[in-house]
Amino acid sequence: MTSVRGLGRALFELVVPSICPACDMPRDPGEPLLCDFCTRLVSHTEHLRLVHTAVAYEGTGLELVRRFKFEQRRDAFWVLSAWLAARVAELAFDAIVALPRHPARVRSEGCDPVHALARALARSRGTPLVRGALQRARLTPPQTGLSVAGRRANVAGSFAAMRGALAGRRVLLLDDVATTGATLTEAAGVLRRDSGAKRVLLAAVAGTPAAVL
């Protein structure tokens, strides 16, 4: 009789493409998702300023994030979500909030990658994902090319929190990629001020190395 674990692995192999999620190199059933070459190009990170991060936004990390966000590659998502869960496993929080994207941006791109990561983390950890506690108050221009000060100014006043929605709770505020931490820091300040959160931890699956800022 096939074991539950064996059956799960068999089903996994049916739905996962038989290629590396970062470079499309063919993979055999039972092999790790990432090929040896892409694995060597992974740079795991722990912090970007105040943000807890799982992988550097370069090399394999950048390619996986790109494929997940813009190609909706589920195999890339599985790798990233596993890294994120491992990174925050020892952090103490009892609620998760996904950094919200403006509805216009979600409609134009057809997906919300941060919410997908937050939902997977909530399920794996058994921690509630609190929706509606934080909202975008206005659509902001892209942060690309802006200085640290410019990024802070760009996101100032761009979030609104539901008053009392997180009263007394320890919150993990999650983004997909952190570059300077300006957006997460702005949102965290709003949560602490208006939602009643006892503590707000910042996290992102990937962080941009300081050398390329």
pLDDT value, residue 135: 86
Phi, psi values for residue 197, rounded to 5° = -60, 135
pLDDT in tens, 109-134: 667 899 999 999 999 999 999 999 99
pLDDT surpassing 60 at residue 164: yes
Q: Which of 83, 151, 149 is nearest to 121 (CA)?
A: 83
Question: 15-212 domain in CATH 3.40.50.300?
Answer: no
Domain extent listing, the chain: 15-212
Amino acid at 44: H
Would you place residue 1 in the very low, low, confident or very high pLDDT band (cuts 50, 70, 90)?
Answer: very low
pLDDT in tens, 17-26: 689 999 999 9
Residue with the bigger pLDDT between 46 and 128: it is: 128
Tell the burial category of 20 from Cβ atoms under 10 Å away from its Cβ (0-12, 13-18, 19+): buried
3-state DSSP helix/strand/coil % of the chain, to nearest 5: 40, 20, 40
Tokens of 107: 């409609």
Q: Which of 133, 180, 181, 138 is nearest to 159 (CA)?
A: 138
Q: If you count them, how many residues does the chain have?
A: 213
Q: Residues 138-164: what's their mean pLDDT?
A: 68
Give the contacts of 87 (CB within 8 A, at least 6 positions apart): 46, 52, 53, 54, 203
Q: Residues 48-60: what's their mean pLDDT?
A: 94
Phi, psi values for residue 211, rounded to 5° = -65, -20
Would you place residue 8 in the very low, low, confident or very high pLDDT band (cuts 50, 70, 90)?
Answer: very low
Ranges of H-type helices in the chain: 4-15, 36-40, 59-71, 74-87, 103-109, 113-125, 148-155, 182-190
Q: Three-state SS string across 133-151, please?
A: CEEECCCCCCCCCCCHHHH
Q: Which has the minimum average pLDDT: 68-77, 99-108, 181-190? A: 99-108
